[in-house]
Amino acid sequence: MTKATIHLRDYGWIVYCFFNTKPYDSDIILGYLRSFGCKGDDFISARRNLENGRKNEGLTYSNYERRVSVLVVGEASSLDELMNSSAHEIDHLSKHIAQASGIDLMSEEASYIVGDITQKLYTVLEDRGA
C-alpha cells in the first residue's frame, strides 16, 4: 500500500490517500474513516468494499465540515484499470470539495480542482516509485 497526504491549500482541504490497497490494509483505512466521522451505513459499505478482495475498486469519503477526505484506490488488474479507478475517485473528491466550497460543478473552477488533485497525486506517487 502507498499512503500519501495531500493539501489543497486553495480550498483548505486535506486528503489522505491510499493506493494499491489490499484487504489486510482495511483496519488502517477504517481507522482514518472512523476518525473523520464515517459511521453507520457509510462505514459498513466502506468496510465491505475494503475487505472484499476485488480488484479495480476504490472509495472516497469526505467530511465537509472538517474539510478532510479519505481517498482509496485498491489493487488494480492493469495500468488502464488503475487510471480508471483513480479518475473515478478523483471525480468524487473534486465534487465533494466543490460542493462544500459552493463552487458550481459545471464551472471552470471545478475543473481546476480535478487538475490540482491529479497533479498532486502524480507528484506523490512518482516520488514514491508507485
Over residues 61-114, the pLDDT tens digits come to 999 999 999 999 999 999 899 999 999 999 999 999 999 999 999 999 999 999
Residue 130 has pLDDT above 60, yes or no: no
Q: What pLDDT shows up at residue 129?
A: 58
Distance (Å) of CA 53 to CA 49, 56, 89, 113, 121 = 8, 10, 18, 30, 24
Residue 120 — very low, low, confident or very high, per pLDDT cuts 50/70/90?
very high
Contact 77, 56 (CB under 8 A): yes
- pTM, entire model: 0.93
Distance (Å) of CA 3 to CA 13, 19, 23, 104, 111 = 17, 7, 15, 30, 25
Name the nearest CA neighbour of 117 among 3, 20, 13. Answer: 13
Contact 119, 112 (CB under 8 A): no
Amino acid occupying residue 57: E
The residue written with cell numbers 490494509 in the block is 25
